[in-house]
Amino acid sequence: MDIGIDAENSAFQASMENPGFLIRRLNQIYAALFAEESVGLDITPVQLCVLAAVGRKGGRDQSAIAEEIGADRATLASVAARLEGGGLIRRAVSRTDQRQKLLFLTAKGRSILTKMQKPLANTNERSLAPLDPTERELFLSLLAILVDGGNQHARAKLRLDQTAD
């Protein structure tokens, strides 16, 4: 592994054996690649997740979207407010439950989702570039196992809507 640090360094070795360090570092790298690829579109990975979830099935309440993307309700409410402020989604109070805010994609939001397809694909490709196809498949499979196996420990649980299109 060549990251410009002496591999014999004990601090380096400790970091490379610490999954928390490696996961955080990989997230930093992914975020940097996402920012490079999406320059000028003014969107974050979390905002894109929300837009994609709303785009898959609009008219759901914020809590359902939060569960689908593994975000806590407060974070989702904050992201939804920013997306609404940017004209990417519309929030409406449910007629059946005044406590629920339903999310709908706007034309501008759909446009951003379309424009983000290539930058997102590029981000994913660049983040996995050091791996060959077999390693990519294994890596993604192992990540899915870790996410599924650790989901119960997360502050915000991930609950995929099996009825979503």
pLDDT, tens only, 30-89: 999 999 999 999 899 999 999 999 999 889 999 899 988 989 889 999 999 999 999 999
Confidence (pLDDT) at 134: 97
Place 18 in a pLDDT band, splitting at 50, 70 and 90. Answer: confident
The rounded distance, in Å, linking the Cα atoms of 65 and 57 is: 9
Q: Identify the residue with better confidence: 64 or 12.
A: 64
Place 25 in a pLDDT band, splitting at 50, 70 and 90. Answer: very high
Alpha-carbon distance values, 39 to 49, 84, 97 (Å): 17, 20, 39
